[in-house]
Structure 1
Amino acid sequence: MFKIKYLFLIFFVAQLSCQDKQTLQKKAVKDTNAPEKKTITHKEFKPIISQKTVVPFLTQYASKHKENNVLIKTRLGDIHIQLFNETPLHRANFLLLIKEGYFNTSCFHRVVKDFIIQAGQSDKNSTRELRKKIGTYKIPPEFTKHKHHKGALSSARRWNENPKKLSDAYEFFIVQKKMGLHHLDHEHTVFGKVIKGLDVVDKIAQEAIDKGEWPIKDINLIVSIY
């Protein structure tokens, strides 16, 4: 009788041990089958314009945006600009930059009395970020009958290593010299003119500048379409 009880006890302990192993195995399986973490994928950043797309993009943009009148507000007064239809790529690009708020981060960064006042650059992070968003590109020249008279709105560009005379997308200048700057005709694209506010252009040209022709006191821009 004792042997039977002893054998029964051994059998009972063996069963418990087996159940514990099964429980551990189930737990182990449960742990290894834990849900995997989701992988986060980031979309590749693409600027609005690239050098390959600049002409078709601006051509289409010009057909949808017909505005011509622009207001440049500064601490020295307002300058009213008329954009030319004969230069559709430059007109479209200027309108795009206004609508993206680019010029509102910039200033007149180069002032040369009896020559030009130049804008479209700054040392702000917001300016660099918007350039990154909009893209890195140059604009093909659009030379027309329009000349570099006083008040002409023209595109800046690099002279070195630029045989096609491609325009800078972000910087422009206004001719301040009374007799004009006709040696720049067919070198820089004239795409607009001052229709009101030449006195403000003259005031800006009188501002004190540093050795780099940057005004000592910033002349910020607020640019809008009307």
Structure 2
Amino acid sequence: MTTTHRFLILVTSLLSIISCKQQTTSEDQIKNSPTQIQLNTTKGNIVVELYNQTPKHRDNFIKLAKDSTLNGVLFHRVIKDFMIQSGDIKSKAAKPQDTLGEGELPYRVSAEFHPDLFHKKGVLAAARDGNLERASSSTQFYIVQGKIQNDSLLQLNEDRINGWLREHKFKNSFKHKDLVNALQQAEIVGDQTLYKKLNDSIIKLAKEFEDFERYTIPKEHRKVYKTIGGTPHLDQNYTVFGEVVSGLNIVDSIANAATNNLDRPLTDIRIKSVKILEQ
């Protein structure tokens, strides 16, 4: 074999390796690129991008889109300067007088709190009930409208965050297990009087509880809250798993809708269809 032939073989091998690496890199980029989902509403289209930092919520929302679970649901809870909520599967055929907010699939999604993800304007987050694990609803979600914050408001919100964190840690401490179990049982049997009494006791006792790590709103988050706005009091208590990349004006339009005393729009606003966008 001549030197020229050896050189040509070497060059061909190197080009083949480079080509394979480039193909692998391209495939990885496609695989890791954020998924975008379009919500086709009666007010217009909203495109949300799902965060890869919250894979359980990402995958669940993709599944809901593929299964057409959210097609036809209403925005059943709308509060100006706060958020718009949807995903109640019982809302698809709801009558104007119906009370909504309880419809969902029979499972929860484990909480995924991430230090870099917070409730700035336009984020997509999971609704939930008061379960001890702070796990998310299978189908219900909200998009933040929020409002511009200042330093004094941020301090109030930080105090509120820590109040919820304190109560969460209190309820999950072994020392208070019996009290919390009694509260849950009262809720199950529908004893509202006992439930209120026990819950008031827990709130009062929790105020003295200090065995938890206090949360401080990071400087970077504060800057965003003071410029584009949001709802900071929900941070580290509700899972944020995406954000609006197109259609914030539609979010504002929905948030500004006239509502009844239960925050349901007087004129139905519906998600007609949900579509996963091609990368």
TM (normalized to structure 2)? Answer: 0.52
Q: Distance in 2 between matches of 1:66 and 1:98?
A: 18
Q: Distance in 1 between matches of 2:232 and 2:248?
A: 18
> What is the root-mean-square deviation in Å for CA atoms of aligned residues?
2.4
TM-fit CA distance, 1:125? 5.8
For the Cα contact (< 8 Å) 1:67–1:225, is it kept in 2?
no
Instruction: Report the 3-state secondary structure (helix = DSSP H, G, I; strand = E; otherwise coil) of the residue aligned with 2:91.
Output: coil
Counterpart residue type for residue 129 of structure 2: R
TM-fit CA distance, 1:124? 3.5
Aligned to 1:177: 146
Q: 1:146 aligns with which of 107, 110, 117?
A: 117
Aligned to 1:68: 35
Q: Distance in 1 between matches of 2:122 and 2:91?
A: 26
For the Cα contact (< 8 Å) 1:73–1:79, is it kept in 2?
yes
Counterpart residue type for residue 251 of structure 2: V
Of Structure 1 and Structure 2, the greater helix share is in: 2
Q: 1:125 to 1:197 in 2, by over 3 A?
A: closer
User: Which blocks of at least 5 consecutive residues in structure 2 are unaligned?
Assistant: 1-30, 95-102, 148-228
Counterpart residue type for residue 186 of structure 1: Q
Aligned to 2:276: 225
TM-fit CA distance, 1:208? 1.1
Show CA shifts across 1:116-164 (max 9, x none): 00000143469xxxxx9x95111110111110000010000113xx121
Q: Distance in 2 between matches of 1:135 and 1:76?
A: 26
Of Structure 1 and Structure 2, the greater strand share is in: 1
Are 2:59 and 1:88 equivalent residues in the alignment?
no
Q: 1:166 aligns with which of 135, 138, 145?
A: 135
Q: Distance in 2 between matches of 1:123 and 1:65?
A: 34
Counterpart residue type for residue 250 of structure 2: V
Q: 1:147 to 1:79 in 2, by over 3 A?
A: same
Aligned to 1:21: none
For the Cα contact (< 8 Å) 1:113–1:206, is it kept in 2?
yes
User: Which blocks of at least 5 consecutive residues in structure 1 are unaligned?
Assistant: 1-63, 127-131
Regions of 4+ moved over 4 Å = 64-67
Show CA shifts across 1:16-37 (max 9, x none): xxxxxxxxxxxxxxxxxxxxxx
Q: 1:117 to 1:74 in 2, by over 3 A?
A: same
TM (normalized to structure 1)? Answer: 0.64
Counterpart residue type for residue 223 of structure 1: V
Total equivalences in the alignment:
156
Percent identity, aligned pairs only? 41
Aligned to 1:216: 266
Aligned to 1:26: none
Counterpart residue type for residue 225 of structure 1: I
For the Cα contact (< 8 Å) 1:65–1:92, is it kept in 2?
no
Q: Distance in 2 between matches of 1:124 and 1:193?
A: 24
Q: Distance in 1 between matches of 2:118 and 2:34?
A: 22
Q: Distance in 2 between matches of 1:180 and 1:153?
A: 12
Instruction: Report the 3-state secondary structure (helix = DSSP H, G, I; strand = E; otherwise coil) of the residue aligned with 2:119.
Output: coil
Are 2:125 and 1:157 equivalent residues in the alignment?
no
Q: Distance in 1 between matches of 2:246 and 2:119?
A: 17
Show CA shifts across 1:85-110 (max 9, x none): 11110001101111111110311110
Q: Distance in 2 between matches of 1:205 and 1:123?
A: 18
For residues 25-44 of structure 1, the aligned pairs below 5 Å read none
Q: Which has the larger radius of gyration?
A: 1
